[in-house]
Amino acid sequence: MKYRCVVVENEERSSARLRRLLSAFPNDVEVIGEAADGPSAVELIRAQRPELVFLDIDLPGFNGFQVLERLDVQPAVVFTTAFNQHALKAFETYAVDYLLKPIEQDGIKRSLAKLRVMGFNQAHFTSALEQLLELSGSCYLRRISCRVGDRTLLVNAGEILYFQAANKYTALYTVATEYLIETPLAELEAKLNPADFIRVHRSTLVNVSWIAEIRRVFDHKTVVVLKDAKATQLIVSRRYTDNLKNL
Assess whether 122 and 193 both reside in one domain.
Answer: no
Q: Is residue 144 part of a domain?
A: no
What residues make up the domain containing 191? 185-244
Cα–Cα distance for residue pair 60/62, rounded to 1 Å: 6
Residue type, 228: D
Q: Is residue 59 part of a domain?
A: yes
pLDDT of residue 125: 47
Calculate the alpha carbon distances from 129 to 57, 125, 191 in Å: 22, 6, 15
Q: pLDDT digits over 10-59, tens only?
A: 999 999 999 999 999 999 999 999 999 999 999 999 999 998 999 998 89
Domain count for the chain, please give it.
Answer: 2
Q: Is residue 157 part of a domain?
A: no
Q: pLDDT digits over 77-101, tens only?
A: 898 987 665 555 555 555 788 888 8
Q: Assess contact for 75 and 56: CB atoms under 8 A.
A: no
What are the φ and ψ backbone dihedral angles of 223, each rounded to 5 degrees?
Answer: -130, 155
